[in-house]
Structure 1
Amino acid sequence: MSSPCDPKHAPAGDVGSALMMIDSRLKAVHEGRTEPDPEQQALISQFAASLGPGEADDVLDGACTLIFLFMKWLRLAYEDHDKDVIEYVVPNLVGTMRMLPKSIRPEAIPTMIGLVVAAGTGLSPSLWRKQYGYWTREEMTPLEVTAFLLAEQINRLTDDQDFATRMVTEALFRADGD
Structure 2
Amino acid sequence: MSSPCGPEHAPAGDVGAALMMIDSRLKAIYDDKTRTDAEEQALTDQFAASLGPTGVDDMLDGACTVIYMFMQWLRMAYEDHGKDVVECVVPNLVATMRRMPRSVRPEVIPTMAGLLVAAGTGLSPGLWRKQYGYWTKDEMNPLEATALLLAEHINRLADDRDFATRMITEALFSVEEG
The answer (yes or no) to whether the contact 1:28–1:37 under 8 Å persists in 2 is: no
TM-score by length of 2: 0.95
CA distance in 2, matches of 1:55, 1:132: 21
CA distance in 2, matches of 1:71, 1:61: 15
Match of 1:35 in 2: 36
Match of 2:60 in 1: 60
CA distance in 2, matches of 1:145, 1:6: 23
Q: Which runs of structure 1 show a deviation greater than 4 angstroms over 4 or more consecutive aligned residues?
A: 40-43
The answer (yes or no) to whether the contact 1:19–1:66 under 8 Å persists in 2 is: yes
Unaligned runs of 5+ in 2: none
Match of 1:10 in 2: 10
| DSSP 3-state at the match of 1:52 | helix
Match of 1:109 in 2: 109
What is the deviation of 1:54? Answer: 1.3
Unaligned runs of 5+ in 1: none
What is the deviation of 1:55? Answer: 1.2
TM-score by length of 1: 0.95
Match of 2:137 in 1: 137
1:173 aligns with 2:173: yes
What is the deviation of 1:37? Answer: 8.6
Match of 2:149 in 1: 149
| DSSP 3-state at the match of 1:2 | coil
Task: Among all aligned residue pairs of Structure 1 and Structure 2, give the percentage whose two residues are the same amino acid.
Answer: 71
| DSSP 3-state at the match of 2:101 | coil
